[in-house]
Chains A and B, each alone.
Chain A
Amino acid sequence: MNWMDAVRGFADFAKRRQDGDYEVDDFGYDDDFTRSVMLPPLKLLAEKYFRIEVIGIENLPVDGPALLVANHSGTVAVDAVMTAAIVADRHPNHRPLRMLGADFVFDTPVLGPLARKTGSTLACAADAERLLRSGELVAVFPEGFKGVGKPFSQRYKLQRFGRGGFVSTALTTGAPIIPVSIVGAEEIYPLIGNIKPLARMLGIPYFPVTPTFPLLGLLGAIPLPSKWLIEFGDPIDTSGFDAESADDPMAVFDLTDQVRETIQQTLYRLLLQRGHPFLG
C-alpha cells in the first residue's frame, strides 16, 4: 500500500535524523533531507500550481559536470528553487542541482543553513570550480539581484550578466554551458515598488512592494499562479578552448554575450508560445 510506504519512509527518516545518521558533503548538501523533506512539496508546487512545462531536459548530461546559466526573476528566488526541483524530478538520474547563491543568503540565519542543506553554496570561483571538477550539475544566475529585484515593467529583459565569471569557470574546468530560460517567474510577485529605507534597516538588498504585499500582509506573500515554461537549451561546448582563454577578456566576453543572447531570444520565443501569463 502506497500510504503505508510513505508512513514507513517518514518514520525511517525521523529515526535517521534523531540518531544523526545521515551524510552531508563538503558544501553542506544533505541529500537525505533534500529528497525527503524539501522536494516532495516543491514538486507539487511545480506541477500543480505553476504547471511547469519542461523543454529539453535531455540537454542535461546524464552524468558529469555542466554549468547551467539561467535568467533570474520574480522578486524572491523561487525560480532557482523550481529549477532545482524540476531537475531532481525529471532528470533520468534525478541529479541534484548545485546552485550558486549570493553571499547575503549565507549571512542570513535559517536561510543560510537551509540553502547549504539543499545544495547551494556561495557564488565564488573556488566553490564553482570545485563542484564542477567533482562532476556536479551547477546552476548560476548571473543577473543576481539586478534580475530578481527588477521592476515588473522590465520583465523578461535580461539585465547585465555580471563580469562573466561563470564563463571563466566553465572554460577553466572544460564543463559545457547550458543556457536555461525560465518564463513565468516574472509574474509571481509583480514588483511595483521598493521601500529603500526599510531594506537598509533590515539589511536586505531591497524591500519589495507588489500589488498584494505588504498590503495584505502574509496573505500577500502567496505567489500568483502564473504558467511557467523552463527550457534547457543546447549545451555550449567549452572543451575546445585552451587554458588561457579563461583569462582572455575578449574570449570570456564573447561567450558571455552568446549565452545571454541565446537566453534572451529563447525567452521571447517561449513568451509567444505561452500566451496568457496565467491561463497559458
Chain B
Amino acid sequence: MSRPNAAVVLVTGVTRFLGSSLAGRLAATGRRVIGVDAAVPDASARARLADAEFVRVDIRDPRIGGIIDAAGVTTVIHASASVAPVAAAARAMIKEMNVLGTMQLLAACARSETVESVVVRSTSAVYGGSPRDPAVFAEDTTPRAGPPTGPARDAADIEGYARSFARRRPDVQVAIPRFAEIIGPTVATPLTRYFSLSPAVPVALGHDARVQFVHEEDAVDLLEHLATTPFAGPVNVAGAGVLTLHQAIRLAGRVALPIPMQAMDAVSTALKLARIKGFSTQQLRLLTHGRVLDTTLLTQTVGFTPKYTTREAFESFAASLRSAA
C-alpha cells in the first residue's frame, strides 16, 4: 500500500454501476486495474471502466486464481458480493453467484502470495431488523433474530466466509463495508424499482419503517477509500440522518397505499399478473420495521464522511424519477 502505483487491483462485478465506476476511478489514478465479470459490460459500463482492463470470467471459475497470480494482484475489491437481484427470476442465480462466487474468490485469494488487502461488499441486511432489536445498530450489535432467509441470510454467509478467510490469512487486511440501501440516478435495485411504482406504492398497513440510504457516488468513493486505507473488519456505511418509508414515498412524489400485511401476497400476485414489476412481499417485509446504522466507526476511524445525507441521496434519486417521467 506504500507504493500505490505498484498496486494491482482486481474489481468484481464491472457490468454494474458500482464495479465499473470504481474500476475506472482507480485506473485513473495510475494503478493497474483488472475488472472481471461473468457478462460483457454494456456501453455505459464500458465508458465508466475507461482505462481499466476487462476480463470476462466468472468468479466461480478456477481461472480467477490464475488471473490473480499472473497479474500479481495486491488488492481485491469484491464489489459484486451481496448485490440484490432486480428480478425475482434471477434470485437463484444471484444467490449462487453471491455465495459460491465469494467462496471461490476468497479461496483464490487465500492461495495467492501477492494479495495484501481484500474488500468484501456487504449490506446492512445482515442485521435483520425486527421490532425487538435496538433502534440503532453498531458494528458489534448482535441482532435479536438472526438474519432471515433470502438475500439477508446470503449476506450473513458471505460475511462468514470473509471472516474465516481473515482468520486463515491474518497477513491480509479484510474490510467488510455494510452498506445501507445504495440509491441514486444510475443504480437499479429492487428498491429503486419499488419507489418507481406509479402512482401508488404499496406499504404495510400500520407500519412505518425508518430507512437509510447511501448515494451511489459515495458508495464508489468509499470503496476507493477502503482500497487505499489501512482498515480491517466490518464498517457501517450510510448517509447521515433517517427517513421514514412514508416520507420517502412523499419525497418521490408517490402516494403510499396501505395494505394489510396478510393481503400482501395477493397484491403481489395481482401486480405480477398485470405485469407490473418491482414489487415483492419479501422486499416489503424488509421495509416493515427498518433499521438505522451507527456510522461513528466510518467517520472517526475509517475517516470517511459520505457527501450525501440519507435525504439528499434519496432526493437525488427522486429527481431522476421526475426527469424520467
In the complex, A26 has a CB within 8 A of chain B: yes
Q: Tell me which of B138, B242, B248 has the highest count of chain A C-beta atoms within 10 A of its own C-beta.
A: B242
Q: Chain B: interface secondary structure?
A: mixed
Complex contact A103–B244 (CB within 8 A) = no
Q: How many residues of B contact A (CB 8 A)?
A: 28
Instruction: Tell me which of B136, B205, B246 contacts A26 (CB under 8 A).
Output: B136
Supposing A19-B250, A109-B207 touch, asked if A24 and B134 sit within 8 A by C-beta, the answer is no
Chain A residues with Cβ under 8 A from B208's Cβ? 28, 113, 116-117
B:120-148 near A, CB below 8 Å: 131-136, 138, 141
State the Cβ distance, B254 to closest chain A Cβ, in Å.
Answer: 10
Q: How many residues of A contact B (CB 8 A)?
A: 27
Supposing A20-B248, A20-B251, A24-B242 touch, asked if A127 and B134 sit within 8 A by C-beta, the answer is yes
Complex contact B134–A113 (CB within 8 A) = no
> Once bound together, how far apart are the Cα atoms of A214 and B250, in whole Å?
40
Instruction: Tell me which of A22, A112, A122 contacts B247 (CB under 8 A).
Output: A22
B interface footprint on A83-96 (CB within 8 Å = 1, 0 otherwise): 00000000000000
> Once bound together, how far apart are the Cα atoms of A202 and B113, in whole Å?
61
Complex contact B136–A109 (CB within 8 A) = no
Complex contact B135–A127 (CB within 8 A) = yes
Complex contact B206–A109 (CB within 8 A) = yes
> Once bound together, how far apart are the Cα atoms of A18 and B246, in whole Å?
10
In the complex, A5 has a CB within 8 A of chain B: no
Complex contact A113–B207 (CB within 8 A) = yes
Q: Tell me which of A23, A107, A124, A126 has the highest count of chain B C-beta atoms within 10 A of its own C-beta.
A: A126
> Once bound together, how far apart are the Cα atoms of A121 and B132, in whole Å?
10
Chain A residues with Cβ under 8 A from B267's Cβ? none
Complex contact B250–A20 (CB within 8 A) = yes
Complex contact A24–B135 (CB within 8 A) = no
In the complex, A145 has a CB within 8 A of chain B: no
Closest to B212 in A: A26
In the complex, A27 has a CB within 8 A of chain B: yes
> Once bound together, how far apart are the Cα atoms of A106 and B207, in whole Å?
10
Instruction: Tell me which of A103, A109, A126 contacts B141 (CB under 8 A).
Output: A126
In the complex, A8 has a CB within 8 A of chain B: no
Instruction: Tell me which of A25, A107, A116, A124 contacts B134 (CB under 8 A).
Output: A124
> Once bound together, how far apart are the Cα atoms of A4 and B20, in whole Å?
57
Closest to A103 in B: B132
Q: Which residues of A approach B to under 8 Å, CB–CB?
A: 17-20, 22-28, 30, 103, 106-107, 109-110, 112-113, 116-117, 121-122, 124, 126-127, 130
30 A-B Cβ contacts within 8 A?
A20-B247, A20-B248, A20-B251, A24-B242, A24-B243, A24-B244, A24-B247, A25-B242, A26-B136, A26-B292, A27-B136, A28-B208, A28-B244, A30-B244, A103-B131, A103-B132, A106-B132, A107-B131, A109-B206, A109-B207, A110-B206, A112-B131, A112-B207, A113-B206, A116-B208, A121-B135, A122-B135, A127-B134, A127-B136, A130-B136
Q: Which residues of B approach A to under 8 Å, CB–CB?
A: 131-136, 138, 141, 204-208, 210, 241-244, 246-251, 261, 289-290, 292
Other A-B pairs, 7, CB within 8 Å; known A18-B250, A20-B250, A28-B244: A24-B242, A30-B244, A106-B131, A106-B289, A126-B141, A127-B135, A130-B135
